[in-house]
């Protein structure tokens, strides 16, 4: 399996704070890689470096490498990069326009499509996200009038509509009921046939249910929680509790790479 | 009682002790509010009522369809001329204001934005007679436009720019950052974010800005005296052809000795005030959704 994204010694800092330091990890194609970690540990910042959304904040200084298909993300045209690496935000942020226009916004940026092509894309994307049934009779409804959970699924549909190769989802199920949640989890499992999924979640059970590998981020660093001694270190007091939950639930095989001594992967299912 | 419970009880008493005074001051705020509301309503009713009574007593349908020369005839040339001047002003101020606002809100640095804002604010505070003088010297004389639609309209436009720019800047800034991020994350470039998202989302604010600036421009006199002068008929050319406008009729006709000239002035005032009133109501109505 090839790695679609590789992160090498990534650091992100502001003048006042080191947000990420020395992060290295790799994300194999057609898998679900999950990033867990306490609030403020830098999960959102980490995935925002993948599509260079961090460029929007000049005060964030990024060093180290993020490779996409083996080439630094710096070398890509940023518009193309972001089409290929989609992001579903932590806070639902639909555009204040109709449901249809929300989903059609992305495709229209990149191509001039006919009305029926657009209809197809919008319908397919909404179906994927499990929202189609609820909105199909009223595609002109303002997205701001949808419920929080519907907005979240709309944002997933919007991200899918530009046909990305990687779909990053930052807590996509935080405001969903259990049924909608399990539908999104099924979606992720379905998507990994054709896409690569990067998931950020606080829901450890969810991480255990869907992930092929789980990365633990703690204070801006990747914790090699598979190594027996690491978690005994006093600075990982809080992380230990995280991992205990992780390891109790997953009957998984593990792999630890000592290249740079930097990262650890837990793989479920087939070992790479 | 435990020690902490007795502390809690003490604090409760302390916090309830002043409540009667606070009920009164609560009331006081409302009383002051109502007084100001009453004062403003009175003032407005007096002014508008005065204009309405004088105007309604003098106005006739014929004034809307005949041209006039400030002592005889009608207001048709002045009404059309006012719109022509304001339209010409918009031609300049709309693009500059809308894109200037976009620049201020989205792309300016703290320094360049600060400088531009300062210039715009200074422009707002330049007396209109001074703007008129500038328009006269530069446009009418130096650029050889003569008293004309172009000279008057552009001078008005310069005055309208700050209103459109600052109000549209605010409307762009009110669009949450997450919305922009969402568009960028889909692969939009700055141009697409500006045109397809920000401009569309700020349209209500921009519309309000346009209506406000029109209503302010339509009420200007001083700068037009030097640049548009007055015309006893309609204006059809861009340059070397003076333009009529309502404020001139008010100003000039009142100084005429005949009762009909006074009637023209009152009618012009009524037309002007009611158009501005209508524009402001329209802008409130458009902005109501937000
Ligand atoms: N643009 C920014 N400017 C300054 N500091 C930032 C910026 N973005 C993130 N940070 C800081 O980086 C740290 C990590 O934030 P981040 O949002 O990545 O955490 P997170 O792991 O996603 O947390 P949560 O689980 O609560 O979403 C925080 O301390 C935050 O204040
Ligand atoms: Mg986050």
Taking the CA of residue A247 and the nearest CA in chain B, the distance in Å comes to 34
As a whole number of angstroms, the distance between CA B87 and CA B79 comes to 12
Domain match, B180 and B37 both: no
| B114 in the same domain as B153 | yes
For B57-94, write each residue's pLDDT tens digit: 999 999 999 999 988 999 999 999 999 999 999 999 99
pLDDT value at position A204?
87
Q: End-to-end CA distance of chain B: give it in Å, rounded.
A: 54
User: Considering the domain boundaries, does residue A63 fall inside one?
Assistant: no
ipTM computed for the complex: 0.87
- Is A21 a domain residue? no
- In this structure, the answer to whether residues B231 and B213 fall within a common structural domain is yes
Number of domains in chain A: 1
Residue with tokens 């092929």: A212
Q: Of B41, B56, B71, which marks where a domain is finished? A: B56
Show pLDDT as tens, one digit a residue, over chain B (290 residues).
678 888 898 888 888 888 888 888 889 999 999 999 999 999 999 999 999 999 999 999 999 999 999 889 999 999 999 999 999 999 999 999 999 999 999 999 999 999 999 999 999 999 999 999 999 999 999 999 999 999 999 999 999 999 999 999 999 999 999 999 999 999 999 999 999 999 999 998 999 999 999 999 999 999 999 999 999 999 999 999 999 999 999 999 999 999 999 999 999 999 999 999 999 888 888 877 65
SS3 B220: coil
Q: How far is CA A93 from CA A76, B42, B199, B254, in A?
A: 26, 46, 18, 59
In-domain check, residue A157: yes
Query: Which residues contact residue B70 at a Cβ distance below 8 angstroms, ignoring those fewer than 6 apart?
Result: B230, B248, B249, B252, B253, B256, B261, B264
Q: What whole-number distance in Å separates Cα of residue B230 and Cα of residue A45?
A: 64
* CA A43 – ligand 2 centroid, Å: 6
Give the C-alpha distances (Å, rounded to integers) separating A259 from A8, A71, A256, B199.
Answer: 11, 19, 9, 50
Q: Which structural domain range is residue B30 located in?
A: 1-56
CATH number, domain containing residue B90 = 1.10.3720.10
Q: Is the pTM of this model over 0.95?
A: no
Q: In chain B, how many domains are there?
A: 2
The phi-psi region of residue A162 (left if phi > 0; otherwise alpha if psi is between -120 and 50; otherwise beta) is: alpha
| pLDDT value of position A247 | 58
Chain A residues in contact with B188 by the CB 8 A cut-off are: 79, 109
CB B175 within 8 A of CB B196: no
Summarize pLDDT for A196-239 with one digit per residue, the tens.
999 999 888 899 899 999 999 988 998 887 776 777 777 777 77
Do the bridges between strand A3-13 and strand A61-68 make them parallel or antiparallel, or are there none, so unpaired? antiparallel
Q: Report the residue of chain B nearest A81, measured CA to CA.
A: B187
Domain residue limits at A115: 30-55+78-271
The answer to whether residue A190 sits within a structural domain is yes
* Same domain, residue pair B105 and B66: yes
**CATH number, residue A235:** 3.40.50.300
| Interface contact A106-B187, CB threshold 8 A | yes
Q: Same domain, yes or no, for B243 and B206?
A: yes
Q: Are residues B45 and B177 in the same domain?
A: no
For ligand 1, say whether the CB of A24 is within 6 Å of any of its atoms. no
To test the ligand 1 pocket, which listed residue (A12, A38, A42) has its Cβ within 8 A of the most ligand atoms?
Answer: A42
Statement to judge: residues B50 and B69 lie in one domain? no
Contact between A109 and B192 using a beta-carbon 8 Å cutoff = yes
pLDDT for the residue numbered A243: 73
Residue ranges of chain A with per-residue pLDDT less than 70? 228, 246-272
Do B15 and B92 have their domain in common? no
Note whether B186 and A82 are within 8 A (CB): yes
Which of B108, B171, B177, B182 has the most A C-beta neighbours within 10 Å, making it the best mutation to test the interface with A?
B182
Are B162 and B19 found together in one domain?
no
């Amino acid at each position: 399996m090839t790695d679609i994204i590789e992160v090498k010694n990534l650091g992100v800092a502001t003048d006042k704070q080191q947000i990420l330091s020395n992060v290295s990890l790799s994300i194999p194609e057609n898998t679900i890689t999950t990033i867990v970690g306490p609030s403020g540990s830098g999960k959102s910042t980490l995935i925002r470096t993948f599509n260079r959304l961090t460029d929007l904040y000049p005060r964030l200084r990024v060093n180290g490498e993020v490779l996409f298909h083996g080439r630094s993300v710096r070398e890509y045209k940023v518009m193309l990069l972001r089409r290929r690496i989609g992001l579903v935000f932590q806070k639902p942020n639909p555009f204040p326009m109709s449901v249809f226009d929300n989903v059609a916004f992305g495709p229209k940026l990149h191509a001039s499509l006919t009305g029926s092509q657009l209809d197809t894309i919008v319908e397919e994307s909404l179906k994927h996200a499990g929202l189609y049934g609820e909105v199909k009779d009223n595609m002109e409804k303002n997205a701001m009038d949808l419920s929080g959970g519907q907005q979240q699924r709309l944002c997933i549909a919007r991200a899918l509509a530009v046909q990305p190769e990687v779909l990053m989802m930052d807590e996509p199920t935080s405001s969903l009921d259990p049924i909608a949640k399990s539908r999104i989890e099924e979606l992720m499992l379905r998507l990994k046939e054709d896409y690569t999924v990067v998931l950020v979640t606080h829901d450890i059970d969810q991480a255990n249910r869907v992930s092929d590998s789980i990365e633990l981020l703690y204070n801006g660093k990747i914790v090699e929680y598979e190594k027996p001694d690491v978690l005994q270190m006093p600075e990982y007091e809080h992380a230990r509790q995280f991992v205990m939950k992780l390891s109790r639930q997953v009957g998984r095989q593990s792999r630890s790479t000592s290249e740079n001594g930097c990262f650890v992967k837990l793989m479920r299912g087939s070992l790479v | 009682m435990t020690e902490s419970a007795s502390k809690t009880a003490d604090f409760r008493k302390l916090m309830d002790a002043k409540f009667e005074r606070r009920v009164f001051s609560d009331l006081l705020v409302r009383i002051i509010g109502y007084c100001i509301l009453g004062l403003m309503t009175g003032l407005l009713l007096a002014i508008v009522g005065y204009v309405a009574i004088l105007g309604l007593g003098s106005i006739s349908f014929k004034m809307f369809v005949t041209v006039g020369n400030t002592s005889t005839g009608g207001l048709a040339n002045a009404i059309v001329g006012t719109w022509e001047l304001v339209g010409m002003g918009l031609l300049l101020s709309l693009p500059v204001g809308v894109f200037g606002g976009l620049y201020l809100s989205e792309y300016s640095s703290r320094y360049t934005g600060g400088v531009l804002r300062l210039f715009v604010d200074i422009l707002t505070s330049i007396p209109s007679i001074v703007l008129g003088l500038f328009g006269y010297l530069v446009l009418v004389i130096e650029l050889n436009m003569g008293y004309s639609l172009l000279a008057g309209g552009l001078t008005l436009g310069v005055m309208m720019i700050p209103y459109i720019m600052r109000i549209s800047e605010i409307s762009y800034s009110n669009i949450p950052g997450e919305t922009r991020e969402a568009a960028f994350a889909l692969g939009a470039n700055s141009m697409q974010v500006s045109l397809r998202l920000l401009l569309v989302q700020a349209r209500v604010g921009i519309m309000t800005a346009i209506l406000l600036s029109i209503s302010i421009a339509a009420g200007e006199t001083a700068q037009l005296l030097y640049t548009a002068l007055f015309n006893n008929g309609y204006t059809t050319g861009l340059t070397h052809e003076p333009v009529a406008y309502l404020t001139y009729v008010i100003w000039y006709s009142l100084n005429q000795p005949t009762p009909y000239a006074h009637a023209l002035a009152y009618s012009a005032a009524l037309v002007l005030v009611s158009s501005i009133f209508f524009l402001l109501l329209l802008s409130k109505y458009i902005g109501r959704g937000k």
